[in-house]
Structure 1
């Protein structure tokens, strides 16, 4: 009798079994990771809206207030000046001028009797500018009434060397030297004052009388060849005769610099017209239109749909309430009227695509005919009931309130309070300015007080469209605004979900290790059983043969 048996072999794919079990554990992590990716897309979209809204806000800063002073950045404080001539004179040849922000507007008549000049003198002709002259001496040089310097000349110095020695002291003496080549073998040294209306002062102190040797002065020290005399500028402004020792005049009209270039002939005059610079307002409004449409386009992109009406894959904020509320509030502000005017009066309107557009012709007309109305419509304006309280700055959030101004017995400003609270405003060290305290609703507001008695003053602020959009957009796009709130919430969610993914992945790794250990035991047991079976078969077969 013979015995036969069948050995047991393993064809099980243990790796596949383990991976399937692990994948089942990781399925939840995959779902969470998909949610994280979706959140990240929303964060990117919110950040794009945030940037566009911030750009819209910052671009409106110059339109948001109407403060008129030399520190103002408001376009309503920008100034332009035009100069026209009456009679046979070129306005551009006679006068140039610069006007600072906040300068008083108005029209002025100017005539120029003479311009200021500096004294200029020349030497006798010299045959060379580089050969040693053989003179040795020291002289003092400067302008009358000013500082002087001692200049030493040695026998080996040339005309060029003397020029250089004089110019080395120009910052002290305000006298500058130049060499002019009159012809071949003929050179003259000239001395020119760098300040107008002052004569050159010279004296020989030791050795050779250098300027006399050069033919600039005679034996008495008088200049022999005066090319130009020094004189002050003389002119009249609005019929008032004025004299200045310079042609660059900054102390006649506050914020205005006149540069006199030539006298105006008898019977002629110049008309200077200083007015608000409408081009700055136009530029600011054009920038607003561009920035508003950029934000609107970003919103529209998040409302895109497929042909079947479902949200496009790129529209990750489709139906988002925060985005919709911001857009609604911007449009609501734009539809507001202020002082009986609306954005239509400025030439602003929406086209068929609901994009904002600007008719510059309409804007130009209203700027020329009703600038005050434009200012009220757009900007924040703050006024006071006392001429002794002057507005320096309206701040980011202009307020209306009653201000109690208090001065001491000497007439010095000591405090300012609202409803008895003196912590809301601080007083400058010079006792002239009242400044809104940081962290309060009055922060950024500033006034100067010229009075010497205590009084109660009403402060009134009105908000224009540009100011309201500026404040709203700045807040909404800021670090505590609605968009950042959404961004922070999504980031927090992602942080929490990322932690869950890590936990799931860690648990899956541990589970995989456990399965691999357990299945290894199974494989070992099966291998052992196979070995036993083989042994038994061999044993039985051997017994059968016997």
Structure 2
């Protein structure tokens, strides 16, 4: 019996396809009427990509959050800069410890008569020094004792002298100086100078002419005579011509004398020209005596250039923050938010900007920012008219101080304000004094944990609203004293910017929340990717089984076709 196969003409094609599929990721299957190819890699990747779609969507959200975090950090940094730049204007306490712009001092010196003020006197003034005017005359400046010896022919040849002598300044310590015969004039100088820290006497060599050298001794302190005595051996200084046969100094180049001067009509004497104990916080450096009939006129006042500089810095920093805010409010031509405006419509950013502008619109003590020369230009940028500022600083410095800085006063002269702090408060301070008149406690509303008391000093504790505030109490009885504080424009903006930009401020809170969200979403993305990888491994194994089964079936089919064809031919 002959059996014919309708598919015998395709058998060679099928065998060829089966052979080629075994070496690739696709397999050709053949039947009686159809042929198809399966791309296993594409099938697997398609299924895995479906799983990864959510991870991609989440990653997009993470990227958007990161852009917001960067924008918030930019605003935060700009606010920190604004805050730090205002710290010197936020308080106005005037004492030796104050570092604000209102406590800085500048001194001017002029002269009446035929004398150069700068040639006769220089001076420096510390923060918090009392302002005012003074007159000064200098009768004589303090000088150090200076003596010299006779001419020697060489400074390097051995002198041949051997002896010990004592050297020092009157009223001070002395030291024994030992000279040996092999020492030169230079060696003597070096040996004397090795003991200068003890003796306060320096030695030097002056070359008078070629082959002529003189030893010079100089006291390192003014108004003190050099003392000398030979102890043993050769009288070294006598041999060098510094002393005569009686032991007295032979040549006195400069006598030791104290400074004599008159300040505001009071005659004063000091043993140095660097005088620090006449006016608190003021150092005078007397340079030369003033001629008879001449006077040095000294004026000490607030260094207003520091206030001007701080206000210029404020304008720069305010505009920088404003620019950072505006960068988040840009729109496209169709009115939609620009892609770079990742914080478009952000309420926190808007509230802070509005608060800053509200402070600048207020008045304190009857003055406004316009009185300082501050205004907004046509671009709504803050600018400073230095001419207007200079005028008000020279005519109404107290008003400027009140307008800008924190002010704290008390209802009792027995309670003095040492520091207002950066966040001054108004309250009633209850003071407790024991039977011996010692201050033992300071409380507000019955709470004594808000202040630290040490002797007569009262300091607000860190972490409380009174932190930074400090007082001294000179009373001897228990009493309640009212403390009143006001806040100027600089104080308010300083506090607002510092709070918003702090590690616990509104911007940091938003940054932390977004960071936390990103951490959660990133973990979810990693979980999805991990699950997708596992899924891909499972599909690969599963489809490999499918492929093997199909290949086995094709092989069987090929075999059956060959068998049928063989039977037909017989």
1:472 matched to which residue of 2? 496
Deviations 1:243-300 (A, max 9, x none): 0000000000000000000011110000100000010000000000000000000001
Partner of residue 222, structure 1: 248
TM, length-normalised to structure 1: 0.98
1:539 corresponds in structure 2 to: 563
Correspondence for 1:186: 212
Q: CA deviation at 1:437?
A: 1.4
**By how many angstroms is 1:406 displaced?**
2.7
SS of 1:270 mapped into structure 2: strand
Q: Distance in 2 between matches of 1:63 and 1:49?
A: 22
Q: Matched residues in 1 for 2:128 and 2:202: separation?
A: 38
Q: CA deviation at 1:420?
A: 2.6
Render the CA deviation track for 1:10-47: whole Å, top value 9, x for unaligned: 51111111111111111111111011101000000000
**What do residues 207-227 of structure 1 show as CA deviations (whole Å, max 9, x unaligned)?**
111111111111221111000
Q: CA deviation at 1:309?
A: 1.4
Written as runs of structure 1 = structure 2, the 5 A alignment for 1:190-209 is: 190-209=216-235
Q: Deviations over 1:144-185 (max 9, x none)?
A: 000111100001111100100111111111001110000001
CA contact (8 A) 1:71 1:101 kept: yes
Secondary structure at the counterpart of residue 127 of structure 2: coil
- 1:389 Cα deviation (Å)? 2.1
Aligned length: 544
Shift of 1:387: 2.4
Alignment equivalent of 1:140, drawn from 166, 181, 205: 166
Q: CA deviation at 1:455?
A: 3.0
* Structure 2 residue 463 is matched with structure 1 residue 439: yes
Counterpart position of 1:260: 286
Compare CA radii of gyration and give the structure with the larger one: 2
| Equivalent residues of 1:137, 1:206 under 8 A apart | yes
Measure, in 1, the Cα distance between the counterparts of 2:412 and 2:170.
49
| Structure 1 unmatched runs, 5+ | none
* Cα shift readout 1:50-81 (whole Å, capped 9, x = no counterpart): 00000000110000000101111110000000
Q: Name the SS of the counterpart of 1:395 in structure 2.
A: coil
CA contact 1:3–1:537 (8 Å) conserved in 2: no
Distance 1:246 1:386 in 2: 42
SS of structure 2 residue aligned to 1:156 = coil
Is 1:115 paired with 2:141? yes
Aligned to 2:37, what secondary structure does the other structure show? coil
Superimposed CA distance per residue, residues 117-142 of structure 1 (whole angstroms, 9 cap, x where no aligned partner): 01100001111111111111000100
User: Structure 1: how far apart are the matches of 2:527 and 2:470?
Assistant: 57
Shift of 1:386: 2.4
Structure 2 residue aligned with 1:530: 554
What are the ranges of 5 or more consecutive residues in structure 2 without an aligned counterpart?
A: 15-28, 31-35
Moved more, 166-175 or 446-455: 446-455
The aligned residue for residue 447 of structure 2 is: 421
Aligned-partner Cα distance in 1 for 2:446–2:565: 116
CA deviations on 1:432-467 (whole Å, 9 max, x unpaired) are: 311111221111111122333333222111100000
CA distance in 1, matches of 2:213, 2:433: 71
Q: Is residue 403–residue 457 contact of structure 1 (8 Å, CA) maintained in 2?
A: yes
231-240 vs 378-387, which deviates more?
378-387
Q: Give the SS at the match of 2:246.
A: coil
What's the C-alpha RMSD, in Å, of the aligned pairs? Answer: 1.1
Give secondary structure in 2 for the equivalent of 1:62. Answer: helix
- Once residues 468 and 527 of structure 1 are traced to their aligned partners in structure 2, the CA distance between those partners, rounded to angstroms, is 82
